[in-house]
Amino acid sequence: MIKLVTAVIKPHMLDPVKEGLRSLGVQGLSVTEIKGFGRQGGHTETYRGAEYTVDLIPKLKVEVICSIDDAEGVMEVIRKCAYTGKIGDGKVWMLDVERLMRVRTGEMGEEAV
């Protein structure tokens, strides 16, 4: 079985996460710039004396396709490497991948990971 591990992390934590995943043997990942908020609901900032609310915080979405055997390790490495101990560290979740095909070779399933 194949899994998709997705994480939403702080942008400045990407390099530690990439290094951690490389050390685990992960050969590929996708990163998307996103905006969102969680429990903190954003924050207020002051610019030129005016206060305004920033309710969508810049984040990164990291996606890794891996075998079921590697998925828990991938999740744990992301959690450890993205951890700051402060609010907004993010979330990590795992989903089943029903079918997977490598475009270049046509390989299917685990062979395409």
The span from the CA of 103 to the CA of 113, in Å, is 11
* Contact predicate 82/9, CB 8 Å: yes
Number of domains the chain contains: 1
Q: What is the pLDDT of residues 16-33, one digit of tens each?
A: 999 999 999 999 999 999
In a domain, residue 25? The reply is: yes
Reported confidence tier of residue 38, pLDDT bands at 50, 70, 90: confident
Q: What is the CATH number of the domain that holds 84?
A: 3.30.70.120
Q: What is the pLDDT of residues 41-80, one digit of tens each?
A: 766 777 788 877 777 889 999 999 999 999 999 999 999 9
In a domain, residue 49? The reply is: yes
The more confident residue out of 87 and 25 is 25
In a domain, residue 68? The reply is: yes
In a domain, residue 113? The reply is: no
- Percent of the chain at pLDDT > 70 equals 96
In a domain, residue 40? The reply is: yes
Q: Which residues contact 33 (CB under 8 A, 6 or more apart)?
A: 11, 58, 59, 60
In a domain, residue 109? The reply is: no
In a domain, residue 44? The reply is: yes
Which structural domain, as residue segments, surrounds residue 71?
2-98
In a domain, residue 112? The reply is: no
Instruction: Tell me the average pLDDT across 92-103.
Output: 97
Residue 108's identity, in one-letter code, is M
